[in-house]
Amino acid sequence: MQIGLLGLGTVGTGVVELLENNKDVIAKRINDHINVKKVLVKDLNKKRTPLVEGKITDKFEDILNDDNISVIVEVMGGEEPALSYIKEALKRGKHVVTANKEVIAKHGRELFELSAENDVNLFFEASVAGGIPIIKPMKECLSANKIVKIMGILNGTTNYILSQMTEQEKSFDEALKEAQLEGYAESDPTDDIKGYDAARKLAILSSIAFNTRITSDQVYTEGIDSVSKADIQYAREMGQVIKLIALGKKHEDSVEVSVTPVLLPKDHPLASVSGSFNAIMAEGNAVGPVMFYGLGAGKMPTASAVVADIMETVRNNNCSKFNCTCFDNLEVMDPGQACSSFYIRLLVVDKPGVLAKIAGAFSQYQISLSKVFQKNTINGTAEIVIVTYDVPFENLKRALDQMKDYDEVEEISTVIRVEGEQN
Ligand SMILES: NC(=O)c1ccc[n+]([C@@H]2O[C@H](COP(=O)([O-])OP(=O)(O)OC[C@H]3O[C@@H](n4cnc5c(N)ncnc54)[C@H](OP(=O)(O)O)[C@@H]3O)[C@@H](O)[C@H]2O)c1
C-alpha cells in the first residue's frame, strides 16, 4: 500500500516514525506493507527525518497524479489548501485520512458526500481528542444506542491551565505562560483559551452522536480567560473544580451544544482529569455512561490514531464503509433556552438592602437561588457569590442586565455554569 503524506510537522513525523518502528506488527495485522511514497511540505530546505529521504516534494500534483498512491494522509492543518487537496484526492478515487478538525467541522457534509460519490474512505479519528479512540467507538461500538449526552474535556491546553490554577494556585496569566514554556500552548493561544478548538471537536462529535450535521459556528462557545483565581478558590470551598466542558445534549427535537467553563463536583468523573489529558463521557440509552480517557494531542498519540486509520483503509480497500451518518436534521437549540444552574460572582456596595435588591431581580425572572455568600469586603465593596438552581440562560442574562443598571452593583465579575446542582 503506497501512501502520500501531506505535511511533515509534529504529526506527520510521528506517522513516519510509527510506521517504521511498528512496521512488523502493522504488516502482520493487515497482511500488507505500508510505504510512504511521497511527502508534501512547504519548505524544501528544512531538515527532515532520514526516513523520508528522496521522497519530499513541495508540489501536491506529484502526489495527486501518482497512480500508485491510493491513500492520502492530510496532516498539514488549516482550512486551505488542505480542504482543496482533500477534495481533489477524493475526486481522484484516493482514500483520505485526516487529522484536521477545522476542515471536518466546517466542511464535513461536502467531504462525506464526495467520498460516497467516489466510493472511497474518509477517516478522521485524530481530529477529535488526538490519540483517544472516540470516532470509531461512537460510529461502530455504540451504534446500537441512542446517544443522549456527551460531555468532555477536549482541549489539553485549557485543561493544563485550569489544573495549574487549581493545583498550584497560579493566576490565569502565570498558568498560560507556563503552558507556553512547557509546549502545551501555542504562542498565539486564542483558539484554545477562547474555546474555538474544543468547539470544532464538539461539532464533529455531536454530528456523529446525534446523527445531524452540526458545524462549529453553531456551538455556543465561551473560553476560560474570564476564570480567575478567586473563582477557583470559591469552587474549592464549595467542593467543586472548574473545567472547560464541551457538552452535547439531545432534547426532543433539538440538540444543545456548548463549550463553556463549568463547575463540577469534585467526585464527577471529569473532575479528576488533570493536566493536558482529555476525556469524553458518552451516555447511551442502552449502554449507560461510558468514558474515554487519554492524551488528546502530541506527536505519537496523534500518530497512533492516524496510522490506525491508514491500516483501516488498507483493510477496507475498494470498499467505502465509514459513511456519513447525519441522516437527521435537528434544530440546534438557542443557547438562551438551555437550562443550567449558574455560579455568579459580583462586586456590590456594602450597605444594607443591596442583597435584597439583587434577590428581587433574580426573583423577577423566576430564578431560585441555591447558595448566597459574602466573603471579602474591601473599602466598602463586598464580593458576593450566588449559585442559582436550574434556569434558562436567557432569564439569567435578563436579570444580570437589569442588575448592571443598579448603582449598588459595581461589577458582575464571572458567570459560570454549574453541573449537578439539584432543583
Ligand atoms: N499536534 C498535535 O498534537 C495534533 C493533535 C491532533 C490533531 N492535530 C492536527 O494535525 C494537523 C497537523 O498538525 P501538526 O501539529 O503536525 O502541524 P505542524 O507541526 O505545523 O506541521 C504542518 C506540516 O504541514 C506542512 N504544510 C503546512 N502548510 C502547507 C502547505 N500550504 N503546503 C505544503 N505543506 C504545508 C508544513 O510544512 P513545513 O514543514 O515545510 O513547514 C508542516 O510539515 C492539524 O490539522 C492539527 O489540528 C494535531
- What's the domain range around 226? 135-295
Q: What is the mean pLDDT of residues 369-389?
A: 92
Answer whether residue 321 shows pLDDT above 90.
no
- pLDDT per position as a tens digit, 11-49: 999 999 999 999 999 999 999 999 999 999 999 999 999
Regarding whether 148 and 269 lie in a shared domain, the answer is yes
Strands 339-349 and 381-388, sheet pairing = antiparallel
DSSP 109-124: HHHHHHHHHTT--EE-
Regarding whether 347 and 264 lie in a shared domain, the answer is no
Distance 6 CA to ligand 1 centre (A): 8
Domain boundary among 257, 281, 315: 315
Regarding whether 31 and 49 lie in a shared domain, the answer is yes
pLDDT confidence of residue 317: 66
pLDDT confidence of residue 378: 85
Helix axis angle, 82-91 to 101-117, nearest 10°: 20
The answer to whether residue 201 is catalytic is: yes
Q: What is the mean pLDDT of residues 317-322?
A: 61
Are the CB atoms for 74 and 309 separated by under 8 Å? no
Catalytic residue among 201, 243, 249, 299: 201
Distance 80 CA to ligand 1 centre (A): 12
Cα–Cα distance measured from residue 28 to residue 126, given in angstroms and rounded to the nearest whole number: 23
- The CATH number of the domain holding residue 235 is 3.30.360.10
Regarding whether 278 and 140 lie in a shared domain, the answer is yes
Cα–Cα distance measured from residue 170 to residue 138, given in angstroms and rounded to the nearest whole number: 37
Domain boundary among 264, 282, 315: 315
- pLDDT per position as a tens digit, 203-215: 999 999 999 999 9
Q: 37-67: string of b/e by CB count within 10 Å (b at 16+)? A: bbbbbeeeeeebeeebeebbeeebebbbeee
When the pLDDT of each residue in the chain is averaged and rounded to a whole number, the result is 95
Q: For residue 327, is it within any domain?
A: no
Q: Which atom of ligand 1 is nearest to the CA of 77?
A: 45
The distance between the two most distant Cα atoms of the chain, rounded to a whole number of Å, is 80
- pLDDT per position as a tens digit, 361-378: 999 999 999 999 988 788
Q: What is the mean pLDDT of residues 340-346?
A: 97
Overall number of domains in the chain: 3
